[in-house]
Structure 1
């Protein structure tokens, strides 16, 4: 797992949102023939308390990582969410130093491949990533190609045994500097996550009619 860092870990809902918004992750393990790392889009399966209990995905049957994981199913899954440089040009306070904000997560998992679960895994991912489309694409629209495509892949369920999420998104900044960064940073996704992880402080600065207060 990741070394311990002095950054807030967020809530289970923050972690689930990170996986949902940034589904492409690295599946990493080691085996008798070396080190393996494959980028794969994954969908979170949540338990009754909203914690990420498993990650559902699929990969190529020809991927050497499949045999390695069948021999030893232990692996790690690495997610990189919003991230970006924060320049002193955004902050008026003298001697303020640059920093890098980010949201990342590492899961320790046990991978179980599932032939019958391949189609449901693909359908689940497709439905997730197509959800925002006006007319979501469905896997049946692949037509005659679908059986050939499905024969090349295998689904899996990666059961989460431990997780470590790190959200360094301006919580350590004084409020005046945070507000300057939020108003001046060019990455709307990063700004949105900074607002999410600082909602308690930012809410205190908003009057009932939306006007900013002075303190």
Structure 2
């Protein structure tokens, strides 16, 4: 088993919640296409990701391509960054790049009847519960016009490959030096969680 698997299965949904912008990549008759879209994870009863839910512009050529061939790859990138040898006292230690990333192979189904719900759910996830959080009602009469230009989709997960390369292979002293010298707090937190739980 690889050292670079998530410490906890809940780490993958947490990565998506914290970094929801994904690349949706497809390969249709016109060749490869990729669109960056924020997505929500839908979990099964065991807490695993069963599907990814979102919406995109109907005018996006990738919509027609995915209707013809629904297979796609979805890529999420979490905390990541360069780890310089300047952080380490061992003169023979070389530089590396640490990261948390997840690749899903999916089958996409467009669900136009859920488009309003997609906008509402994504807005709620991104806005949180602050008293002044945005809601779709604030758009007033503009909502219906906007909804005609977008379409919701659900990407059913066929397979998942999560790679959390976050210092699990470092000697304890070297790891501690990296953490103490790292300016990127999000990456330091991810590294600490990946190695110590």
What interval of TM-score do these two structures reach, taking the shorter chain for normalisation?
A: over 0.9
The aligned residue for residue 92 of structure 1 is 89
- Is 1:154–2:148 an aligned residue pair? no
Provide the aligned length of Structure 1 versus Structure 2. Answer: 196
Q: How far off is 1:71 after superposition?
A: 0.8
- Is 1:114–2:108 an aligned residue pair? no
- Equivalent residue for 1:105, pick from 102, 106, 112: 102
Distance 1:192 1:132 in 2: 24
Distance 2:3 2:32 in 1: 29
Deviations for 1:160-190, whole angstroms, at most 9, x for unmatched residues?
Answer: 0100000000111111111111111011111
SS at match of 1:117: helix
SS at match of 2:102: strand
The aligned residue for residue 194 of structure 1 is 191
The aligned residue for residue 63 of structure 1 is 60
Distance 1:23 1:7 in 2: 25
For 1:172-187, list aligned pairs within 5 A.
172-187=169-184
Q: Specify every segment of 5 or more residues in structure 2 that has no aligned partner in the other structure, as ranges.
A: none
Structure with larger Rg: 1
Please report the TM-score for the alignment, with normalisation by the length of structure 1: 0.88
> Bigger relative contact order, structure 1 or 2, given CA contacts below 8 A and separation 6+?
2
Q: How far off is 1:7 after superposition?
A: 4.6
Between 1:34-43 and 1:133-142, the stretch displaced more is 133-142
Q: Specify every segment of 5 or more residues in structure 1 that has no aligned partner in the other structure, as ranges.
A: 201-215
Q: How far off is 1:149 after superposition?
A: 1.1
Distance 1:58 1:166 in 2: 26
Distance 1:92 1:133 in 2: 45
Please report the TM-score for the alignment, with normalisation by the length of structure 2: 0.95
Distance 1:111 1:153 in 2: 15
The aligned residue for residue 164 of structure 2 is 167
Distance 1:122 1:33 in 2: 29
Distance 2:167 2:30 in 1: 42
Deviations for 1:6-63, whole angstroms, at most 9, x for unmatched residues?
Answer: 5522132111111111100000111111211000000000111111110000000001
Distance 2:64 2:77 in 1: 26
